[in-house]
Amino acid sequence: MSTAVRPGRLTGAIAANADGAPLIRTGKHLPTTQTELRLVFAHPPRLGFGIAGSEGPHPNQLVVRLDPTTGIRLLVDAQADDTVEPEQISLDVEFAHQPGAQGATPYEVLLHAAMVGDSKRFTRQDSVHDAWRVMQPLLDAPPQVHGYRKGSWGPPAAGDLVDWQGPWVPT
């Protein structure tokens, strides 16, 4: 089976706002299937971390994992007493591994809400209307879509969107 995408057949898209800041990375056949929100904080000041000429501390990151597992990860730089350079450490909580965490999956929660008529988990009509107001210009004049090889992290243009803060961060 070929890992290349057939010519003329695109597998994903990257959306950006007017300033070029990334909003969405999505596609078929990426190396992993996951849904997460990643907040990358500003680069911290050096404050004695590392030696002169080193790259300095990495920005802290808060990662909220939604699918296929739910949890929170905090990535921070820390310097052990026996090291010269700080290293990024990961503070992870996977909700499924917490005591009493055998709750329903997000899809089960939505299905149950629909069955009992609980509308607060669903989008209101005015929000749907506003979403179409924002999306319709993109549908009328779609931006360029970049194809990429199956199993890759996307096209090189994806990296151009985040040059100001570093590369995309695979998990």
Q: Is residue 122 part of a domain?
A: yes
pLDDT in tens, 112-167: 999 999 988 888 999 999 999 989 998 999 888 888 888 887 888 877 766 655 65
pLDDT digits (tens, 9 = 90+) for 9-60: 444 444 445 555 555 666 777 787 778 888 888 777 766 655 555 666 778 8
Residue 82 within a domain: yes
Does some domain include residue 168? no
Residue 155, in any domain of the structure: yes
Determine the structural domain holding residue 23 and report its residue range: 12-161
- pLDDT one-digit tens code per residue, 93-115: 888 777 766 667 778 888 999 99
Residue with tokens 């921070």: 76
Confirm if 71 and 65 have CB atoms less than 8 A apart: yes
pLDDT score of 89 more than 80 = yes
Is 6 a domain residue? no
Does residue 145 belong to any structural domain of this protein? yes
What's CA 82's distance to the chain center, in Å?
A: 33
Number of helical H runs and strand E runs in the chain: 3, 6
Residue 60 lies in a domain: yes
pLDDT at 100: 67
Q: Is residue 3 part of a domain?
A: no
pLDDT of residue 116: 94
Alpha helix (H) ranges present in the chain? 106-116, 125-140, 156-161
Query: Letter for the amino acid at 152?
Result: S
What pLDDT shows up at residue 2? Answer: 40
Q: Find the CATH number of the domain harbouring 37.
A: 3.30.360.10
51-55, 56-60, 73-77, 86-90: which is most confident: 73-77
Domain total for the chain?
Answer: 1
